[in-house]
Structure 1
């Protein structure tokens, strides 16, 4: 496995991280200056165990010989997929946020809890491995992506048809990528040097569709002031893609059948046959057999189109492809907007894979574009996903701006409390209750919150959170007879965290027995 590279001029930081990562079975390589890293990256080789490139890079933000921000920019230019974690002291928080927004995987404030630092590096390693795997499996040109068995069947069919110009009918739900399949069939066909012309027969008015397909002569109808070539002529020597063929008007189906049968057609208002050297690929989301039974689609045309049929699976049938597609669309959106591509966390990806995607791949593409614009951090969390994925209403009810005349201020505050009381952890207001008294304790929390809100306080969250944290720390230190490391472990927080919290809450001088 590739090593974790650590860049810091402080030998104690390097030592601590090296030992912690060694316990996890990870190899490390340490540097004291940014310029050393740049030279090492240029000299790295995947075939030489002594010069392996990094899996993750962890760097301090302030060092002699170049800052971590400068290193970040150079690394992103050379290896855009390499996760980089920026370490910073609290005084450098603004710089860290800037680095974070410019593509750093995460920033790690100093002093840090070693277990949390290791967990952060673990996440970065997993992200790096996912990107490497995607690069291996993804095509050189991402015309189509998919590892699901159903998609592999489609790819094999495209390969078998690569030496043929046979007519193909593509079926599948809206948004599943039928035009991408048509373009791939064209690209890997003997007529790939010719044009690829697409027309959505459902999107063009009935009285204009005939002219769109076959063209018209000058004076053929009012407004036809010049001769116009139709899509069949535009696609000469290449491929004509007829999307949503199931919605084609019945009278035009006859004309299309004639073209497919003898290869000739007439422009609207024309008297001279035009020869069509065109491969036709059609697509529909409709059940054409049912349309034939109902008399809405010509049976002879159906058989002309249905020479080779490719069924494109819905995205919910190929959930294993969602991660690869998501990464591709996030990268594509970032390039379009000129920003750093965002990454999606494991929990958010799991939520995304569970979504049914009624709009299929097109809907996933739109979601990724939305996340690129709207997600606040570089790492996408579950809470950042759009309401349609989370299963929530996108509109949020606004609370009343002021109490009604019949309702006193205190009552107005109480009316706002059900939502508020569930939004933050309950503070420690009294000795911890037993299970039977838990409801009373929560009611005490709600009552104090109401009182503070009724008074017009604007820092209710901070007031109650401080009380809650102070009582938790007192209880844990009393239970461990003042042993801070043990208390931190019991509470599930780091040693540095409990020290900092005691200082912030003014409890550092208290004696716990």
Structure 2
């Protein structure tokens, strides 16, 4: 079996020697370059399994090498070597396509972990290439879903923190799991945590662990979520719900790649990939002082948006059949059919609760339906108007009242979908905040 081949690019002889020696002991062959031009020439003549590049080189910057590899050799993982504390540089490298970074002075344990992770990328790439619709838990063939699948395949090969944005119930954890499964950490744990479900007084212990006797009730040592996810992925769901004091501690853990259990002064190195999600507008949370800007900058290296169900209505029939098949298998019966009128209503409903709401609707209808057919009455749903339908003028006594009713429904729906966040609701409706307040007051909806 051929040894892996790595390209090391740095103009400091001491760093080159350290990296060459460390990788050699890991049974990895190396080639070295001291300039951008020399590196590009070597890349053109040989196929590398890994590339490590310094940020500053005599004839240019390492970022140009990252971009060159991303454009011409996207299957080759490249990591950036940055000066200690150069977080902005590291984040720019990740955004440019680097899969990870390491800081100077280089810690050998961190370097070994990075190299091992990079060399495992071949396996996940083959697995991703072989992935089919049959083994993909993300259902749908609509353009938004196909685009998201392409993004997932690309992001699975990176170590960059990813902020998964999307409305409540849209499937953000499912997307996070898929990124983990297709990445080099798939053989290690995927640990999801709902940040809004942990009491604030227990949060530090839950995340970082504690030592026996650290506080009343600490009868034994307990590892935290970071330790539980070691080598794998830690998924922080509803990260916007973290209190500000915990945000400071989380930022330090991310930057130092180490945690300090409650009750000890010793830090423990942790090797995890961070994915986070929230249904809230995280940029708005920062603007209003509820979320630290530096933590947002660190977590939001790459954003992946999960489309709401109403933006991919053509996927609804496929999802309906899949959900009913799952419900039927659980009950050990044949799945019921869906009346065309019922399917039409589902396809034209806005689903403010997204996929989770669809699952709840179908579970109720599955229980209530007669003769193994789900009808429109079974789903207990008022369908949204179908585009192109004509208004029945005989049902309108007052045009002003009719229009006020439509406006009232639209405002209420936008507020419900944003959990009564008026700023977010105004943005969704294309209104200014002042205009939204005026309309709410006019219609008697202002609290």
TM-score by length of 2: 0.55
Q: Distance in 2 between matches of 1:264 and 1:147?
A: 41
Q: Does 1:287 find its partner at 2:293? A: no
Alignment partner of 2:222 out of 223, 228, 241: 228
Q: Distance in 2 between matches of 1:211 and 1:338?
A: 43
Equivalences for 1:120-135 in 2 at 5 Å? none
Alignment partner of 2:241 out of 217, 228, 247: 247
Counterpart in the other structure of 2:346: 352
**Could you list the per-position Cα deviations for residues 79-131 of structure 1 after superposition, in whole angstroms to 9, with x for gaps in the alignment?**
xxxxxxxxxxxxxxxxxxxxxxxxxxxxxxxxxxxxxxxxxxxxxxxxxxxxx
Counterpart in the other structure of 1:274: 268
Gapped runs of 5+ residues in structure 2?
A: 1-130, 386-447
Q: Distance in 1 between matches of 2:284 and 2:144?
A: 24
The count of corresponding residues between Structure 1 and Structure 2 is: 255
Q: Which has the larger radius of gyration?
A: 1
Conserved in 2, the CA contact under 8 Å of 1:282 and 1:305? yes
Conserved in 2, the CA contact under 8 Å of 1:357 and 1:363? yes
SS at match of 1:286: coil
**Could you list the per-position Cα deviations for residues 463-502 of structure 1 after superposition, in whole angstroms to 9, with x for gaps in the alignment?**
xxxxxxxxxxxxxxxxxxxxxxxxxxxxxxxxxxxxxxxx
Q: Does 1:213 find its partner at 2:177? A: no
Counterpart in the other structure of 2:406: none
Q: Distance in 1 between matches of 2:156 and 2:276?
A: 17
Deviation at 1:138, TM superposition (A): 8.0
CA RMSD of aligned residues (A): 1.7
Q: Does 1:188 find its partner at 2:182? A: yes
Q: Distance in 1 between matches of 2:194 and 2:313?
A: 28
Deviation at 1:381, TM superposition (A): 2.0
Q: Distance in 2 between matches of 1:358 and 1:377?
A: 30
Q: Distance in 1 between matches of 2:136 and 2:366?
A: 19
Counterpart in the other structure of 1:151: 145
Counterpart in the other structure of 2:314: 320
Deviation at 1:384, TM superposition (A): 2.2
Q: Does 1:177 find its partner at 2:171? A: yes
Deviation at 1:383, TM superposition (A): 2.4
Deviation at 1:280, TM superposition (A): 0.5
Deviation at 1:155, TM superposition (A): 0.6
Distance change >3 Å, CA 196–CA 284, structure 1 → 2: same
Equivalences for 1:73-92 in 2 at 5 Å? none
Structure 1 segments, 4+ long, off by >3 Å, are 387-391
SS at match of 1:199: strand
Distance change >3 Å, CA 201–CA 388, structure 1 → 2: farther
**Could you list the per-position Cα deviations for residues 208-247 of structure 1 after superposition, in whole angstroms to 9, with x for gaps in the alignment?**
1221111111111111111111111110110000000011
Q: Does 1:339 find its partner at 2:317? A: no
Conserved in 1, the CA contact under 8 Å of 2:350 and 2:384? no
TM-score by length of 1: 0.48
**Could you list the per-position Cα deviations for residues 330-363 of structure 1 after superposition, in whole angstroms to 9, with x for gaps in the alignment?**
0111111222111212221001111111110001
Conserved in 2, the CA contact under 8 Å of 1:165 and 1:190? no
